[in-house]
Amino acid sequence: MKNRELGRSGIRIAPIVFGGNVFGWTADEARSFSLLDRFLERGFNAIDTADVYSAWGEGLSGGESETVLGSWLARSGRRDDVVLMTKVGMWREREGLSAANIEAAVNDSLRRLRTDYLDVYFAHIDDDKVPLDETLTAFNKLVEAGKVRALGASNYSADRLREALKVSNEQGLARYEVVQPRYNLHDREDFEVNLASLVQEEQLAVVSYFSLASGFLTGKYRKAEDILGTARERMVTDYATERGFGIVAELSAVASELGAKPSQLALAWLLSRPAVTAPIVSATSLAQLDEILEASNLSVPADALQRLDKASQY
């Protein structure tokens, strides 16, 4: 398994990132600890979370994922073995990208994570109410102070990302090195048309979220009736179209021919994309985690990738 570099940061990660949105939500502390132990045992090292995780859960308010992850880091003593990513800007308690909010939010995250530095700190969402130079100067101060090693931008448009990179260059500030876009075999157009050329031109890393389209690309849903009444009905309804089910049908057929699971093939397709560094994927059981991690070992012939490209054309 070959590690991949995060932009020009000098940080290297294994080719799948563990999505920490499940910690303290659909995976309790004990289950989260087991998943994290297994993830590192398998040779992977990058973990993504956010201060807002999982404020949407019943009885939860945000900060739960970072708290669970911090407890695991303290118990395991594996902080130096982990590339730790978290985010600021989306949580109602610490909303936006003003300098004051970034300073307060990073200290809160460090406290919950029980560490004195972050490997990657993301702007979770663009904030056009705050000048880019204010946001980037605040982030730069964190890098200079040693609280953050590298910066990332999540959910930025190509135009705003380009503008942010220009501001960093002109003012001598630390730049965004990692981009976190929504990108998967179904959701292709926005990234491929607008962002892909920019990130490659600027040598930025890409860690994609919704890599399995909220579970739609696991192959469990072959027709609309399969979605009705499920826990993920609200999350996958938008994928339940003729195009969506056509993608799943071809994905499942190719996976069967390769002796693989649809989820593994969907991730392997992402790993084959020249602009993608590593997809972010979550799991709530050891069996599910082991299954998705095998995607990094899946060799997919060129003709199989072409079939998937054709089936998922926008």
Q: Is residue 201 part of a domain?
A: no
Evaluate whether residue 193 is within a structural domain.
no
pLDDT of 285 > 80? The answer is yes
Give pLDDT, residue 237. Answer: 81
pLDDT over 90 (residue 294): yes
Q: What is the tens place of the pLDDT at every residue in 210-247?
A: 999 989 999 887 766 667 666 566 677 888 899 999 99
d(CA 193, CA 200): 13
Q: What is the mean pLDDT of residues 25-32?
A: 97
Report the C-alpha gap between 193 and 203 in whole angstroms.
Answer: 17
Domain holding 77, by residue range, is: 4-180
The yes-or-no verdict on residue 165 having pLDDT over 80 is yes
Examine residue 267 and state whether it is found in any structural domain, yes or no.
no
What's the pLDDT score for residue 240? 85
Residue 303 class from Cβ within 10 Å (0-12 exposed, 13-18 middle, 19+ buried)? exposed
The helix/strand/coil state of 196 is: helix
Residues 6+ positions from 98 with CB-CB distance below 8 Å: 127, 130, 134, 135, 138
In whole angstroms, give the CA distance from residue 250 to residue 242. 12
Mean pLDDT within 197-222: 93
CATH of the domain at 42: 3.20.20.100
Q: Verify whether residue 209 is a known catalytic residue.
A: no
Mean of the pLDDT values across residues 118-128? 98
Of all residues in the chain, the percent with pLDDT exceeding 90 is: 92
Average pLDDT, the chain: 95
What is the rounded average pLDDT of the residues 174-198? 98
- Please state the domain count of the chain: 1
Answer yes or no: is pLDDT of 49 > 70.
Answer: yes
What pLDDT shows up at residue 255?
A: 98
Whether 111 is in a domain gets the answer yes
Q: Which pTM does this prediction carry?
A: 0.96
Residue 163's H or E segment, with its range, is helix 158-171
Query: Is 57 part of a structural domain of the chain?
Result: yes
**For residue 199, which of 156, 141, 248, 148 has the smallest C-alpha distance?**
156
Eight-class DSSP state of 188 = -
